[in-house]
Amino acid sequence: MEYEEPLFFHVIQYAAGADRDVVNMVSGNPDWEPPAALREGLRTYADADPADFQYPPSEGLAALREEIAARRGVESSRVIVTNGAGEANYLALARALERDAGEEVVLTDPVYPYYPGKVSMLGGDARMVPVAPDGSLDLERTLAAITDDTAAVVLNTPNNPTGAVYPPDVVEAVAERCAAHDALLIADEVYDHFVLDAPFESALSIDAGDVVVTNSYSKSMAITGFRVGYGIFPESLVDAAKTRHMLVNVTASRPPQAAVLHALRETGPDYYEAARDRLRDRVDAFTAALDDAGAEYTRPEGAFYVLARFEGFPGTMENAKRLIDEAGVAGMPGDAFGSARADWLRFALVTPRVEEAAARLAAFFD
Ligand SMILES: Cc1ncc(COP(=O)(O)O)c(C=O)c1O
């Protein structure tokens, strides 16, 4: 079987090999500092007892699972610490597809490309539902796509790449429809600390059917390289997910779990607020300059991406490479996220040079 390979690394490599200065707005790697307590936790770990350098429990350090459970208001037995939200999404999709309760996974278009990649790798069929013109979830079409063939629906809110934050009643309506068709709702909330301008509620509060909530510290603590995430599963599904996690990974790495635990305990709300403020400033600066460039764009309500469209310049890989070579700005081609935003380009606000990037775009399209 051929697996589809997401194109992020291809574009990042192309930009790195360019023969000029390039503002890199491709990856989802935060460029800001992790919490001070995270570095502190990691330093302390270097001097830990040799026993702390051995396998942790497969489902994660007990104290970390308890800390997560207490913060999220669930039993710790439902929490599995995973190698990022990426693995939590994989465990949830695998569980959904092996339940013999449908073969289809409903996804939005545009979509974070790792979802359809995982669905096809697991032998399921991705059913893409285009989002509304403003990037919000098209509830009517999404509900209509959920049938007895549906194994799962994946909702990512705040959303990559659209920046939409789905209203709580919309997520609840999807959950109810899932429950009626014995489908799993997978809510990927990896950007939940980056809600900028919209009401948001975790899908954990939903009391309908089977809901798996996935999350991680990759974005909220600016540590995509640490690979610490988690899934919160319904009691009825958690044991099988734990077994798959164990068979695939044995466990997740121990030092980053300990450092995250320390950072969770010692980091106050100021750290997260500062990250949101920084992002708000970047959204303002980048979108103001996009206005000058005459681009159409969606202003994100959350997460850290802006989708933009330039007249007569569709978001193909070829055009993304042209922007790197001729404008010195690297973004992701919209067609890497499906067909609904194939004319657009996605820019990640993970550089302090957003204004400069937008000025370069304005000059290029002038
Ligand atoms: C929507 C979404 N889910 C999951 C991930 C992966 O997160 P993690 O690093 O926790 O695996 C990303 C990374 O960009 C993402 O955008």
pLDDT at 4: 66
> CATH homologous superfamily for 8-34+270-365?
Aspartate Aminotransferase, domain 1 (3.90.1150.10)
Question: Considering only CA atoms, which of 244, 258, 354 is closest in space to residue 304?
Answer: 354
Cα-Cα-Cα-Cα dihedral of 327, 131, 6, 21, to 10°?
A: 10
Residue-level pLDDT at 144: 98
Give the pLDDT of residue 292.
86
Please identify which residue in the block is written with the tokens 């194109």.
7
Mean pLDDT in each 10-residue stretch from start to end of the chain (366 residues)? Answer: 71 92 94 98 98 98 98 98 98 96 96 95 96 94 98 98 96 97 98 94 93 98 98 97 98 98 98 97 93 91 95 93 96 93 95 92 89
Q: Cα(366)–Cα(364) distance, rounded to whole angstroms?
A: 6
What residues does each domain of the chain span?
8-34+270-365, 50-266
Q: Kindly state the tokens that stand for 157.
A: 């809110």
160 lines ligand 1 (CB under 6 A): yes
Q: How far is the CA of 245 from the centre of ligand 1 (A)?
A: 17
Whether 192 is in the pocket of ligand 1, judged by its Cβ within 6 Å, is: no
Angle between helices 254-266 and 36-46 (to 10 degrees): 140
Q: What is the DSSP letter of 180?
A: H
Residue of 25, 89, 160 to test ligand 1 pocket, by largest number of atoms within 8 Å of CB: 160
- What would be the CATH architecture of the domain defined by 50-266? 3-Layer(aba) Sandwich (3.40)
Residue 214: how many CA atoms within 13 Å on its side-chain side? 24
The domains spanning 8-34+270-365 and 50-266 adopt the same CATH topology: no
Helix (H, G, I), strand (E, B) or coil at 270: helix
Instruction: Give the largest Cα separation in the chain, rounded.
Output: 62
102: left (phi over 0), alpha (psi -120 to 50) or beta: left
